[in-house]
Homo-oligomer: A and B are copies of this chain.
Amino acid sequence: MSVPATTVTPPLVDELDIVIPTIRNLDFLEQWRAFFQPYHLIIVQDGDPTKTIRVPEGFDYELYNRNDINRILGPKASCISFKDSACRCFGFLVSKKKYIFTIDDDCFVAKDPSGQEINALAQHIHNLLTPSTPFFFNTLYDPYREGADFVRGYPFSLREGVTTAISHGLWLNIPDYDAPTQLVKPLERNSRYVDAVLTIPKGTLFPMCGMNLGFHRELIGPAMYFGLMGDGQPIGRYDDMWAGWCAKVICDHLGLGVKTGLPYIWHSKASNPFVNLKKEYKGIYWQEDIIPFFQNVVLPKECTTPQKCYVELSKLVKEKLSPIDPYFEKLAGEMVIWIDAWNELNPDGTDAASVKKAEVVAPKKK
């Protein structure tokens, strides 16, 4: 299937990179061709660098394996996970674009209830280009959507909203469950299409899944570090959770918005719950202390950029989470290295505050 000649220029085609942690499934890009082909892809190979990833004809892409990561980052490469999809954040680092969409290779095009194929990327872009409303809940969900608005009682002073930094999409078919839930409910499938996008309120944490995720790289990219997982690390499957907790507290601090809901992708296969349990069990346990930690994080006013926020957060992680396990001391160190790498590869130094001022995200005109 090729892109029809009549296609109009897709939105943000020069301002967005698609980051894919690896591609094991040859059918993956074919399925997405109509939607992804106009965009630039960054593929970060998560395992053995001697293996070859085949990319079908017609895609514009760059591919990085472990050797490339080591070559580009030198000693700072220690911050990038090996043999784990957490390596995707290397793609966030080397991108030069304003926005990122990241997706896993077992996620395919879903259909809406009318049978129409869902252009997940277009929906993420829509979410990112319309404001968020983190300070007050709107009961008719995203007020900037066609056919919706702010309901009676919504303060008028809050109706401009704030810039959206993160768009978190969902999954039909295989839900994103932890290993214990997978084991208990092996047959559960998500068939409920909830036709909504909503802002996760300020002060509320959420479990951010990296399978189907869009974000404003300039505003929140430095907080999208997927931690240390995989080969040689004591936990796995907490890479996106870690990024989500960090990114949410930093969004709250910087006055940025986080949306969740549409778009859905079709998540084709459940990962092995026994393998997952081994990866997760420490995380499940540690998380009981990590969540209260993040719920209580207060960042100093002087932290006006995501980089400054992230370095400050790394200090708090070292101080408050190291008592749980030495892993967190190591992680805190790599958080700082990640920011060093970010600043090295992004020397213009994105200043969230200045970006916010420069960028006018107008509420939908009605």
Contact = CB atoms under 8 A, between A and B. Distances in A.
A293 to B, nearest CB: 12
A61 interface: no
A139 B284 contact: no
A137 B194 contact: no
A113 interface: yes
Interface of A: 113, 136-141, 147-158, 168, 170, 175-178, 180-181, 184-185, 188-196, 198, 200-209, 237-238, 240-241, 244, 260, 284, 287-288, 291, 366
Given A149-B181, A150-B181, A153-B287, A207 B139 contact: yes
Contacts of A206: 136-139
Given A150-B181, A184-B366, 20 more contacts: A137-B205, A137-B206, A139-B170, A140-B170, A151-B175, A151-B178, A151-B209, A152-B176, A152-B178, A152-B181, A152-B207, A153-B209, A153-B244, A154-B207, A156-B284, A156-B287, A193-B195, A194-B196, A201-B201, A203-B204
A67 to B, nearest CB: 31
A198 B201 CA distance: 13
Nearest to A180: B156
A147 B203 contact: no
Nearest to A181: B149
A21 to B, nearest CB: 16
A147 B194 CA distance: 13
A190 B140 contact: yes
Contacts of A208: 153
Contact of A149 (B148, B150, B175, B191): B175
Nearest to A147: B192
A155 B196 CA distance: 24
A139 B209 contact: yes
Contacts of A137: 200, 204-207, 260
Nearest to A366: B185
Q: A141, A191, A194: which has the most chain B beta carbons within 10 Å? A: A194
B192 A194 contact: no
Nearest to A155: B291
Contacts of A153: 178, 207-209, 238, 240-241, 244, 287
Contacts of A204: 136-137, 201-204
Contacts of A288: 155-157
